[in-house]
Amino acid sequence: MQTIFDADVDPALIDRSLAASIRGSVWLDIPRQDFPPPSGPVTCDLLVIGGGYTGLWSALHAARRHPDRRIVVIEADRIGWAASGRNGGFVDASLT
């Protein structure tokens, strides 16, 4: 039995199968409010660098534990944009 995921599939079949697909991400393509970068010095009690899973969870837990502290998250692109916002799944015909 062969599947589309086997190595010897005709490339034209793959091209036809994916012709109508749209490359994009629902959670990254939703319009969101843009905020300007800070224009001056920022003071905080905790600075979290990176807005992926680890950074956001760290900031959230710190805020819950110390609600009186000022916590700032900085991200080079968009929150959840890099590996945290992408699919890490793999397709392997041997699993089916």
**92 within domain boundaries:** no
Provide the domain count of the chain: 1
Band of pLDDT at residue 13, cut at 50, 70 and 90: confident
Answer whether residue 35 shows pLDDT above 90: no
pLDDT greater than 80 at residue 29: no
Inside any domain, residue 70: yes
Q: Model confidence over 71-96: pLDDT tens digits?
A: 999 998 888 877 777 776 666 666 55
DSSP helix/strand/coil, 46: strand
Distance of alpha carbon 50 from alpha carbon 56, whole angstroms: 8
Which residues span the domain enclosing 57?
A: 41-79
